[in-house]
């Protein structure tokens, strides 16, 4: 008989070992971590211990992720409270810059808005942006994370632009339309990498969009 046939037979006839109870105590199999043989009962105990170790490792990993998420959630809460209290455009910019740099350790932050309200001053945030980038922002279902190569957004970081190795781009929207883009930059190529989770970046974009629309009196 083939080994698959034996395995299938035992699976189909669970009463086999009840009818041959003495066989279990006499069977020996290779040790999984050595050359000696052990009883099938001992082998089951070793398998259970290995499984327990794997489960413990997985549980420790999940607990670590949970703790990290708690820390990020607390930082997002502080940013939300501060940005709600910001009463002017410059105050919103300062709040974003301060919390992103000091709380989230994101060294570079830049913002561009497509239209400058009549009562707004000439500021870098209202500098011209290409139609290509505006179209790209319209298509963003979620924030973009990856290289700065091929993006004009790299120039937004000023003198630090040559050192930026990764960026996160977040479309800012108001009433369903795209009103601008938030760019986060880092010298670490793995800080914003393709395929990373973007939930908190999405939340950041929502908060920034609402605050900017409020202080700029956007319809």
* pLDDT level of residue 34 (50, 70, 90 thresholds): low
Locate 156 and state its tokens: 């937004």
Whether the pLDDT of residue 53 is over 70: the answer is yes
Whether the pLDDT of residue 162 is over 70: the answer is yes
Locate 4 and state its tokens: 């698959």
pLDDT at residue 42, as a whole number:
72
Taking the domain 86-215, which CATH number applies?
3.30.450.40
Average pLDDT over every residue of 150-156 = 92
CB contact burial 137-155 (16+ within 10 A = b; e otherwise): beeeeebbbbebeebebbe
pLDDT at residue 2, as a whole number:
83
- Per domain, the residue ranges of the chain are 3-54, 86-215
Q: Give the up-direction half-sphere exposure of residue 205: CA atoms within 13 A in the CB hemisphere.
A: 27
* pLDDT level of residue 91 (50, 70, 90 thresholds): very high
Which of 14-23, 126-135, 191-200 is the least confident region? 14-23
Greatest mean pLDDT among 18-27, 54-63, 115-124 lies in 54-63
Whether the pLDDT of residue 124 is over 60: the answer is yes
Whether the pLDDT of residue 121 is over 80: the answer is no
Q: How far apart are CA 92 and CA 96, in angstroms?
A: 6
pLDDT at residue 58, as a whole number:
85
Closest CA to 133 of 110, 156, 153: 153
Q: What is the pTM of this model?
A: 0.71
């Amino acid at each position: 008989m083939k080994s698959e046939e034996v395995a299938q037979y035992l699976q189909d006839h669970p009463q086999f070992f009840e009818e041959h109870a003495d066989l279990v105590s006499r069977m020996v199999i290779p040790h999984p971590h050595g050359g000696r043989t052990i009883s099938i009962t001992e082998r089951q105990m070793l398998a259970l211990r290995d499984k327990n170790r794997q489960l413990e490792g997985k549980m420790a990993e999940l607990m670590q992720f949970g703790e990290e998420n708690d820390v990020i959630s607390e930082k997002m809460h502080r940013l939300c409270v501060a940005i709600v209290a910001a009463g002017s455009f410059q105050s919103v910019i300062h709040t974003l810059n301060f919390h992103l740099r000091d709380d989230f350790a994101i060294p570079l932050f830049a913002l561009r808005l497509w239209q400058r309200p009549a009562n707004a001053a000439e500021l870098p945030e209202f500098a011209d942006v290409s139609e290509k980038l505006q179209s790209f922002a319209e298509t963003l279902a979620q924030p973009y994370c990856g290289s700065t190569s091929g993006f004009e957004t790299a120039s937004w970081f000023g003198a630090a632009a040559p050192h930026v190795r990764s960026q996160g781009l977040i479309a800012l929207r108001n009433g369903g339309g795209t009103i601008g883009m938030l760019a986060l930059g880092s010298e670490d190529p793995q800080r914003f990498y393709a395929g990373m989770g973007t939930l908190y970046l999405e939340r950041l974009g929502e908060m920034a969009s609402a605050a900017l629309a409020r202080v700029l009196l956007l319809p």
